[in-house]
Amino acid sequence: MPTLKISVIGLSYNRKDLLPLFIESIYDSSFDKQEVEIIIVDNASSDGSIEMLKSKYPAVKVIARTSNIGSGAHNDALVIAQGEYLFFSDIDLTFEKGCLEQFYNTANSMGKDIILTPRLYEYNRPNQLAPSYSILSRSFYTVFIRPKDLDSNLNEVFMNGLVFMRRDTAKKLRYIFDNDYFLYSEDFDLCLRIRLQGFKLYNCPKAIMYCRPLSETTTPYLKKKGLVYYMERNYLLTFFKICSLKTLILYAPYVFTMRIIALVKDIITFQPGLFVVRLKAYLWVIPNILLILKKRTETQKERVKSDKEIFAIADEKYFWKSKLGWLK
């Protein structure tokens, strides 16, 4: 019997229409079907997704949640995944033929401390690279960039939420996405924890995937106010959770000044709704300080790299020097 090489874990919520495209693109791999297992974690869908999976794709493992906890539901699959490597994805993406083979062969050649992420193109414009990498400012806001080009070399990157890693690496991380984030910036937290624990994240340019725009995936279920709330709240949570005490002190003026500016901008641009949700996100920190301290204590115990090393490839200077290119 072939060795189970890869577990592909897809997160779904009311996307019965996209599930077949996701699954078929995996089956289009040149791997034997017995070498790849597919696990769909369903976040309490109500559109018949589970019934469709059971009837059309009986070989697919389904974890049917009774409540929607957002991206953290990926963690449920860690209990049952049996592949040598794990790949975590949403089901609104599709795989280019040969993508999984490129991941597997590259990971085997690079060693156990390496985590890979794909070369991402837009689904509706398959020749257009997607804005799939980011930089980090001292104010703890990230900016996604669209690289001009990606060459055939492996390049270390700061952040991308689609991750291919050894199963034992996933266990060392304890969890993939924090259950308390729900949505937005959970990949930011993951990639910082990856570097904090001494792992490195590389783009794998020959592992190609296609993504749909936010307007077709997240936006229909969570409007702009919801996105702003989770973005602001989760950035702050990550700031307090990841940074050393020295970095907290050094970055605090930037972090809090930029958030005051954001509130002022909402006022002068007559967006009271955004002002309210942004302020609500900031104030969330106060009653949840004990939760934050607990997460911080657990995270800092796992630290093997300094903040200087963690943030070394996070700013614009790295992208100017790197082969990833810059904004189009």
> Which CA distances in Å does 38 have to 7, 141, 163, 286?
6, 34, 15, 41
35 lies in the same domain as 63? yes
325 is a domain residue:
no
**Residue 318: band (very low, low, confident or very high) from pLDDT cuts 50, 70, 90:** low
Q: What is the pLDDT of residue 135?
A: 75
For residue 326, name the pLDDT band (cuts at 50, 70, 90). Answer: very low
State the sign of the Cα–Cα–Cα–Cα dihedral 2, 8, 9, 10.
Answer: negative
Query: Pick the residue with more confidence: 222 or 141?
Result: 141
In a domain, residue 324? The reply is no
> Are 183 and 269 part of one and the same domain?
no
Alpha helix stretches (DSSP H) within the chain: 19-27, 49-56, 99-110, 167-173, 186-196, 224-242, 245-268, 272-283, 289-301, 307-310, 316-321
Are residue 126 and residue 16 in the same domain, yes or no?
Answer: yes
3-state secondary structure of 140: coil
Is the residue at 246 inside a domain? yes
Q: Interior CA angle at 116 toward 59 and 61, to 5°?
A: 15
What average pLDDT score do residues 123-149 get? 75
**pLDDT confidence bin for 33, thresholds 50/70/90:** confident
SS3 labels along 158-192: CCCCCEEEEHHHHHHHCCCCCCCCCCCCHHHHHHH
Residues 54 and 20 in one domain: yes
Residue 279 lies in a domain: yes
More confident residue, 111 or 38: 38
Does residue 1 belong to any structural domain of this protein?
no
How does 50-85 read in b/e, with b if 16+ C-beta sit within 10 Å?
Answer: beebeeebeebbbbeeeeebbbbbbbbbbeebebbb
Mean pLDDT of 208-235: 79
Instruction: Identify which of 264, 198, 258 has the alpha carbon closest to the alpha carbon of residue 231.
Output: 258
pLDDT (0 to 100) of residue 84: 96
Whether residue 246 sits in one domain with residue 153: no
Q: What's this model's pTM, rounded to 2 decimal places?
A: 0.91
Residues 267 and 293 in one domain: yes
**Does the CA dihedral 75-112-4-12 come out positive or negative?**
positive
Instruction: Assess whether 195 and 255 both reside in one domain.
Output: no
Q: Which residues contact 244 (CB under 8 A, 6 or more apart)?
A: 300, 303, 306, 307
**Count of domains in the chain?**
2
Domain end: 167, 191, 216, which one? 216
Q: Identify whether residues 105 and 240 lie together within a single domain.
A: no
Would the pLDDT of 178 be above 70? yes
Mark which of 216, 235, 268 sits at the end of a domain.
216
Give the CATH number of the domain where residue 183 resides: 3.90.550.10
Q: Decide: 179 and 69 in contact? Cβ < 8 Å.
A: yes
| 318 found inside a domain | no
**One domain, residues 212 and 234:** no
Is there a single domain that holds both residue 39 and residue 93?
A: yes
Q: Give the pLDDT mean for 97-109.
A: 93
Is the pLDDT reported for residue 216 higher than 90?
A: no
Task: Please state the rounded mean pLDDT for residues 309-316.
Answer: 77
Parent domain of 19:
6-216
88 and 144, same domain (yes or no): yes
Pairing type for strands 155-156 and 61-64 reads: unpaired
Q: What are phi and psi of 122, to 5 degrees?
A: -80, 135
In a domain, 317, yes or no: no
Same domain for 206 and 233? no
Strand, coil or helix: what is 312?
coil
- What 8-state DSSP symbol labels residue 34? G
Q: What is the mean pLDDT of the chain?
A: 88
Instruction: Please state which of the ranges 137-146, 156-165, 215-224, 302-311 shows the lowest mean pLDDT.
Output: 215-224
Task: Tell whether 198 is covered by a domain.
Answer: yes
